[in-house]
Amino acid sequence: MTECLCLLFVALHFTAGCILSGVDKTRKVKGHIGGSVLLSCSCTDLQTRTQSFTWWTQSSGTWTDVFSDERYRGRVQRFNELSPGNQSLLITDLRKEDERDYRCESEHRYYRDFTLRVSDVSPGPPTSPFPTSSPDLLTNHNFQLGLTFVYSNPL
């Protein structure tokens, strides 16, 4: 009886295929011209091997395969080398015309939607909470260091 249940579980596991995580709502992703974005799409079980998986993009109401669209040639890549269930899409060298809807679809029945917005302005460099232009940085600001010294006597 236990052997039958195990075989049934294995059969169900393989027939279910890739069930995508996070399919409940459209993900909004922001990028900037010349930058890159990663559209994250994966199976709930990262070791699941997908029978069929497609990345779609929508323009003027028509869905087309991203990998067969000339606009993306040399700028898109799947991230499934380490885990067969990870089908995330990297889009590099973003262009304003990349601003549209995207869909990852697994097994012709599960899908996850994305809306990509591409801005003209790139984000500035990360800012530090500490001023860096003053040569006497340590004399103009009070810093408090918390140090703990532990001494162990090796007998």
Mean pLDDT of 22-41: 90
| 142, part of any domain | no
Report whether pLDDT(139) > 60.
Answer: no
Give percent of the chain with pLDDT exceeding 70: 65
The whole domain housing 56 covers: 31-120
Instruction: Specify the pLDDT at position 10.
Output: 38
Q: pLDDT confidence of 119, banded at 50, 70, 90?
A: very high
| 9, part of any domain | no
Edge-to-edge order in the sheet of strand 76-79: 37-39, 88-91, 76-79
| 149, part of any domain | no
Report whether pLDDT(73) > 60.
Answer: yes
Confirm if 104 and 20 have CB atoms less than 8 A apart: yes
Mean pLDDT of 30-59: 87
Report whether pLDDT(113) > 90.
Answer: yes
Length of the chain: 155
Residue 63: strand pairing partners: 58
Instruction: Specify the pLDDT at position 32.
Output: 96
Edge-to-edge order in the sheet of strand 27-32: 27-32, 110-119, 101-106, 53-59, 62-65
Instruction: Specify the pLDDT at position 99.
Output: 96
| 116, part of any domain | yes
| 70, part of any domain | yes
Per the structure, the count of domains in the chain is 1
| 150, part of any domain | no
We report the CATH number of the domain holding residue 40 as 2.60.40.10
Report whether pLDDT(85) > 90.
Answer: no
Beta-carbon contacts of 14 under 8 Å, excluding residues fewer than 6 positions away, are: none
| 54, part of any domain | yes
| 151, part of any domain | no
